[in-house]
A and B are shown apart, each in its own frame.
Chain A
Amino acid sequence: MARILMKGNEAIAEAAIRAGATNYFCYPITPQSEVAEYLVKRMPEVGGVFLQAESEIAVANMILGASCTGKRVFTSSSSPGISLMQEGLSYMAGSQLPCVVLNIVRGGPGLGGILPAQSDYFQAVKGGGHGDYRLLVLAPSTIQEAVDLTMLAFHLADKYRNPVMILGDGMIGQMMEPVEFPDSYSEPELPPKDWAATGASDRDPLIIRSLFLDPTTLEENSIILHKKYEQAKKEEIRFENYKVKPSNKVLIVSYGTMARICQTVIDDLEPEGYSVGLFRPISLFPYPEVALRKEATRKNIESVLVVEMSMGQMVEDVEKAVAGARPVNFFGRTGGIVPTPEEVKDQIKKLIKKKSRRGRPAKKRK
């Protein structure tokens, strides 16, 4: 298929269709409404269901209901709308129901603004709803990667019978880039959906639920979920290195489109003699902890710089990975302001200057 120019929201919508999504429920919100505008045209072409609900709370319950049938279900929203869906997502995780949720993040808290942000990291990664559950979270940095990860997300949702979230900052939804879709879609084989409620004419009825009044059964359910997340930590770690090499003095950790700004920074600083690498987590849960620790503790690395479009929500995961072996610094802008390459460059220059002037006092003192 020829490469075409697509807006992130459209490309993700098309990727959902290609991955076999046949049920899409939504409620419009900027900056992701193009997903719905695209799917209202596309869903009928594949015999699927498009339904605009009366609210995001209704959407979450509709994807729950549709998922019970074993069909691939999809929804998309932006920050405040995703907040409204949290109860339903918790129910789905508790009921072991797959779905794919796209969050094109805008500035918050509250109604906030419509410009890009990464300030829903905690909500996405730490479990935005109640109970012992996690979402699997994938963060694309290009439109092509958004396409690939969306298709993967449907597979992972079925593999783990758990909601999977694509976390894209507003830029991912709104910018346009050339993309290519595979001519045919294939994925590793999945176990049969023997849990799906597809009609009980020739078998005993199935009950899909998250209500377990007996504490032992409820605990057992949480242990089942926990084991799945432990499996995901082994099998679903995804990240990418950019110009990570032995000469690096600073390692940037950044995800999504913010990481692309950091790439520009790294390229610009290279001829000036600054050696900087970028570690870009792609799976935000499970977090690529071990890989990050390995890159951050290379011999010449003096410090780690986390760069985000938030007040520093990912910092604690980086600190956990680095475990005190290197100082972890942070730079970010929020509220819809995107850090410029110049701002990030200044931060790196300050770090490297400070370091070379003082050497490594913390170690010498001991």
Chain B
Amino acid sequence: MTSSENRFRTPVFDREVVVIVGGFGSGKSEVSVNLARVLAQQGDKPVSIGDLDIINPYFRSREAAEVLADLGVKSLVPPGSLAEADLPIIIPEIKSAIQKRDGLLILDVGGDDLGARVLSSLRDAFSADSYEFLMVLNLRRPFTSTVEGSLSVIGEIEDAAGLKLTGIISNTHLMDDTTDEIILEGLEVSREVAARTGLPIKFVSMETSIAGRFDPRKINLPVLTLNRELLKPWEQRR
């Protein structure tokens, strides 16, 4: 664990399945991959990650499967060249992993109601109180740039999934151009969305380089530090 991670409380989960949903391009995959990394490093339970993104062709969490495998995280992804396809493949292992409830399973779901629809076919596998259903919010994305916009995307996702959210992840950023102010601005909107929906903010996520200088007192919430894994070919791993 890097020192910046020690400065914040890290997210902790009692429940066995953590489902990550959100608006298209809100940062679900990067959050999922890093959550898997951090939870695996805590070492309490075996961690696995299921890539349920059936609408995005690039920059999917399955691209981080190797990095995660080194940390002991098992990736549930379609086999072989099917992993590179744009086909709506849901492997059966995911359903049984939801039912088994051993260890910690993170599910990275595709964006918007379109991506969340995949959950409706898995709905029966979830038993009550066994899962967290978390919404990633990025204020700097066009359709979730306001409280109203976020509420409307939340409604669409809940309807498509047939499941009710249990929390919010505040993930406002502008990639390399993220400032502390942008994160706080986003958190402000997340807090209002939380107040309007009655949902808790489970954690705030930010890049490790930002977390290193961020004052924990400004947030008073658990923080997931992100080491970006889904990089563009010209970007260097930090």
Contacts and interface: CB of A to CB of B under 8 A. Distances in A.
Contacts of B173: 5
Contacts of A116: 58
A339 B234 CA distance: 10
Interface residues of A, number: 34
Interface stretch (B6-14, B128-136, B137-145): B137-145
A170 B56 CA distance: 12
B218 interface: no
A31 B58 CA distance: 8
A341 B236 CA distance: 10
B40 to A, nearest CB: 26
Contact of B234 (A10, A115, A264): A264
A178 B57 contact: no
Given A5-B138, A7-B25, A178 B177 contact: yes
A55 B56 CA distance: 22
B71 interface: no
Nearest to B138: A5
A178 B175 contact: yes
Nearest to A336: B84
A177 B235 CA distance: 13
Interface in B52-86: 56-59, 84-86
Given A5-B140, A6-B142, A31-B57, A261 B86 contact: no
Interface in B92-123: 114
B140 A176 contact: no
A5 B175 contact: yes
B58 to A, nearest CB: 4
A226 B101 CA distance: 69
B91 interface: no
Interface in A123-148: none
Q: Which of B138, B176, B232, B233 has the most CB of A within 10 A?
A: B233
A114 B232 contact: no
B4 to A, nearest CB: 23
Interface in B11-39: 24-25
Name the prevailing secondary structure of the A interface residues.
mixed
B53 to A, nearest CB: 12
Contact of A341 (B138, B142, B234): B234
A79 interface: no
Contact of B57 (A14, A114, A257, A341): A114
Given A175-B59, A178-B174, A3 B236 contact: no
Interface string A145-181: 0000000000000000000000000110011111000
A31 B84 CA distance: 12
A338 B233 contact: yes
A171 B230 CA distance: 13
A238 interface: no
Interface residues of B, number: 26
A218 interface: no
A102 to B, nearest CB: 16
A170 B234 contact: no
Interface string A85-100: 0000000000000000
A7 B140 CA distance: 12
Nearest to A264: B234
A267 to B, nearest CB: 10
Contacts of B56: 174
A260 interface: yes
Contacts of B86: 30-31, 114
A359 interface: no
B141 A115 contact: no
A75 interface: no
A87 B103 CA distance: 57
A217 interface: no
A5 B57 contact: no
A296 B54 CA distance: 46
Given A5-B173, A338-B233, A175 B140 contact: no
B226 to A, nearest CB: 14
Contacts of A170: 57-58
Contacts of A175: 58-59, 232
Contacts of B141: 4-6
A300 interface: no
Contact of B233 (A10, A30, A114, A340): A340
Interface string B142-163: 1101000000000000000000
Contacts of B233: 171, 257, 260-261, 338-341
Given A4-B140, A115-B58, A336-B84, 16 more contacts: A5-B140, A6-B142, A10-B25, A31-B57, A34-B24, A37-B114, A114-B84, A114-B86, A116-B58, A170-B57, A174-B56, A175-B59, A175-B232, A257-B232, A263-B234, A264-B234
5 contacts: A5-B138, A41-B143, A178-B174, A178-B176, A263-B234
Interface of A: 2-7, 10, 14, 30-31, 34, 37, 41, 113-116, 170-171, 174-178, 257, 260-261, 263-264, 336, 338-341
